[in-house]
Structure 1
Amino acid sequence: MKRSVPDLMNASEPLVMVTAYDYPGARHAEAAGVDLILVGDSLGNVVLGYDSTAPVTLDDMIHHARAVRRGAPNTFLVVDLPFGTYHTGVTDAMRNAVRVIQQTGADAVKLEGATPEVLDVVGVLARNGIPVMGHVGLMPQTATAQGGLKVQGRDEASARRTLEGALALEAAGAFSVVLEAIPARLARLITERLHVPTIGIGAGVHCRGQVLVYHDLLGLYEGEEKKLAKRYAELGKEAREAIAAYAREVRAREFPTKDQSFVMKDDVLGKLY
Structure 2
Amino acid sequence: MGYLTTDKKKVTARTLLEMKAAGEKITQMTAYDYTTAGIIDAAGIDSILVGDSASNVMAGNQDTTPITVDEMIYHARAVVRACRRCLVVCDMPFGSYQVSREDGIRNAIRIIKETGAGAVKMEGGTEIVDTVRGIIAAGIPVVGHLGLTPQSIHRLGGYGLRAKEEAEAQKLMDDALALDAAGVSAITLEKVPAALAAKVTTLVKAATIGIGAGNGTDGQVLVYADALGMTQGFKPKFLRHFANVHQCMTDGVQAYIRCVKESTFPSDAESY
State the 1:8 CA deviation.
1.5
Q: C-alpha distance in 2, partners of 1:216/1:225?
A: 8
Query: Does residue 1:151 correspond to 2:161, yes or no?
Result: yes
CA distance in 2 between counterparts of 1:6 and 1:100 reads 19
- Per the TM alignment, residue 224 of structure 1 is displaced from its structure 2 partner at its CA by 4.3
| Cα deviation 1:26-58 (Å, max 9, x = unaligned) | 111111111111100001111111111011000
Shift of residue 120 of structure 1?
A: 1.0
SS of match in other structure, 2:176? helix
Any unmatched runs of 5+ in structure 2? 1-8
> Is 2:35 the partner of 1:20?
no
Per the TM alignment, residue 92 of structure 1 is displaced from its structure 2 partner at its CA by: 0.9
Match in the other structure for 1:81: 92
**Deviations along 1:175-225, whole A, 9 cap, x unmatched?**
110000001001011111111110001101010111111111111112242
Residue 251 of structure 2 is aligned to residue 241 of structure 1: yes
Aligned amino acid, residue 3 of structure 1: V
TM-score by length of 1: 0.93
Q: Aligned residue for 1:269?
A: none
Residue 135 of structure 1 aligns to a residue whose secondary structure is strand
Cα pair 2:126 2:179 within 8 Å, conserved: no
Residue matched to 2:239: 229
Q: What aligned pairs does 1:116-265 form with structure 2 within 5 A after superposition?
A: 116=127, 118-262=128-272
Match of 1:113 in 2: 124
1:182 aligned partner, one-letter code: V
SS at match of 2:160: coil
User: What residue identity is the alignment partner of 1:38?
Assistant: L
2:65 corresponds in structure 1 to: 54
The 2-side partners of 1:164 and 1:143 are apart by 21
| Distance apart, 1:15 and its partner CA | 0.7
CA deviation digits over 1:231-268, x for unaligned, max 9? 10000111012111211222222222212211xxxxxx
- 1:29 corresponding residue in structure 2: 40
Task: Decide whether aligned partners of structure 1 residues 224 and 59 sit closer, same or farther in structure 2, where only a CA change above 3 A counts.
Answer: closer
SS of residue matched to 2:164 = coil
d(CA) in 2 for partners of 1:27, 1:245: 26
Gaps of 5+ in 1: 263-273
Matched, 1:10 2:18: yes
For these two proteins, the number of residue pairs brought into alignment is: 261
SS at 2:32 equivalent? coil
* TM-score under structure 2 length normalisation: 0.93
Q: C-alpha distance in 1, partners of 2:207/2:67?
A: 27
Bigger Rg, which one: 1
Residue type at the aligned position of 1:22: D
User: What's the Cα RMSD here?
Assistant: 1.1
